Structure 1
Amino acid sequence: MNPLRKHILVVVFCVGAAVWSGCRRSPPVVGYYLTSTRDLAKLHRVVFLELAERDSPPGIARDTTIALTHAIQAKRLFDIDVINRDDPLCRMVRLDARGGFTMKQLRDMRETFKCDGILIGEILNFRPYPSMQIGLKLQLMDLRDGRLVWGIDNVWDTREKDIEERIRRFFNETIRYGYKPINWRIAMMSPKIFEKFVAFEAAETLSKVGADDPE
């Protein structure tokens, strides 16, 4: 079974348990995989290859890549640098990792990019206003051993009532001003603000680093 799919149910269960306990804020209800927070902490420099885009307007993947980079940087877990898809170095790497990489490919990427982790992914199922939607797949791999350290496999759809409430909370916590009179509803209309919301929720799945690993 795809480990990202498997952990969607785990995330939903954990969030529900936290709501009942009322003890602490939980990561958002997002399909994600985190193999070990200690493995994540071992990464020092990560290269983020600009997201691929499938059937989405030009610019969506690049803008979402930028939003994700800022959101991940805010976690202060590791250094992260972006390589754009038109960079010759990016063309050297097969971005679709569904078939996996050989150890030689991992070695070559580590030597080429001078990093110990690589983040790749794609945007899919994009839909514009009035019913905005973004699908996101991410894989963060440790190039030293080829293990998947962190991943995202999720779709954000503004037609869902729960998404609307999460957007409102995101706006009130992180943006707050400058969009009167529509305020938080700007994220239901503006792709750039919606991308920031998606990036925020994806990065929030990293917020429990060190909290749950056994001693």
Structure 2
Amino acid sequence: MMVNKMKIFKYSLVLLLLLLSGCTGSKSKKSGPAYFYLNQNRNLSSVGRTILVELSNDSAYPKVSSDVTDALYEAIQKKQLFGINVVRKNDPAWRNLQLDNFTGYSLDQLSAIHKTLKAEAVLRGTITRYEPYPHLILGLRLELLDLKDGQLLWALEQIWDADDKNTQDRVKDFYDKTIIPFGDGLEKGLGVVSSLKFFKFIAYETAETLQHK
């Protein structure tokens, strides 16, 4: 058990170092998330069935967990990298495992998830911050773990602030090219004032980091 805990700790330490150093390559002015890790030795298209556990929530707005989880599910599903299903926190199968969303899992616990939910990987995380006013802010901490060997496949930690000009430009580009190519300016502007539209943009940027560029 001590070996398992040390292994999980090692992965967490690697992630922490990457987040602190920002080792994600060169960034353009309109670039997306800066602090993410993608395992260079694994092709995520070969991961297999993945479960997305409904996000934990450190904010004062509990409904946000479901909304952001749904947005992530939709965006990742569109990438068609691997099969993905959502597991809600009140799902009896998940509750029976008696696991917190963001504690370090031992290999035995990962194996239990694998057997109980018949999945090859788990995507879990926390809403670290959410503020609906005076302007939208959302913070996420996410990680994708291989359930067979505990290997960290991908991770991200980021805060999106709708008051940031760079973020506003990226939201506009997203709705210009992806969602509403012929919509009017007012409709596109909702991306930084509507929480659900902002979540869709964030989920899109998050899903984009799952593939090597």
- Structure 1: segments with no counterpart, 5+ residues: 20-25
Q: How many residue pairs are counted as aligned between the two chains? A: 199
1:123 paired residue number: 127
The residue aligned with 2:23 is: 10
1:1-215 correspondence runs (5 A): 1-3=13-15, 6-7=18-19, 9-11=22-24, 13-16=25-28, 28-36=32-40, 38-91=42-95, 92-98=97-103, 100-176=104-180, 180=184, 182-208=186-212
Letter of the structure 1 residue corresponding to residue 100 of structure 2: L
Deviation at 1:6, TM superposition (A): 1.6
Compute the displacement of 1:179 (Å): 6.3
Cα distance, 1:30 vs structure 2 = 3.1
Deviation beyond 3 Å, 4+ runs, structure 1: 177-181
Alignment check: 8 A CA contact 2:139 2:160 kept = yes
Superposition deviation, residue 40 in structure 1: 2.1
1:23 maps to which residue? none
Residue 106 (structure 1) shift: 1.1
TM-score, with normalisation over the residues of structure 1? 0.83
- Residue 65 of structure 1, CA deviation: 0.6
Pick closer, same or farther for the CA change 1:72–1:37 going to 2, 3 Å: farther
* Coordinate RMSD, CA, aligned: 2.2
Instruction: List runs of 5+ in structure 2 lacking aligned partners.
Output: 1-12
- Change in Cα spacing, 1:207 to 1:39, as seen in structure 2 (3 Å) is closer
Q: Secondary structure at the match of 2:205?
A: helix
- Offset from partner CA, 1:51-81 (integer Å, 9 cap, x none): 1111242321111111111111111111000
Identify if the C-alpha distance between structure 1 residues 4 and 199 changes in structure 2 by more than 3 Å, giving closer, same or farther. farther
Cα separation, 2, equivalents of 1:133 and 1:45: 31
Distance in 2 between residues matched to 1:47 and 1:132, nearest whole Å: 28
Q: Is the 8 A contact 2:33 2:206 kept in 1?
A: no
For residue 161 of structure 1, report the CA deviation from its aligned partner: 1.2
CA contact (8 A) 2:55 2:101 kept: no
Q: CA deviation at 1:155?
A: 0.5
Cα distance change on mapping 1:85 and 1:131 into 2, 3 Å:
same
Letter of the structure 2 residue corresponding to residue 14 of structure 1: S
Query: Does the C-alpha gap of structure 1 residues 63 and 37 become closer, same or farther in structure 2, counting only changes over 3 Å?
Result: farther
Distance 1:27 1:93, change over 3 A: farther
Q: Percent identity?
A: 31
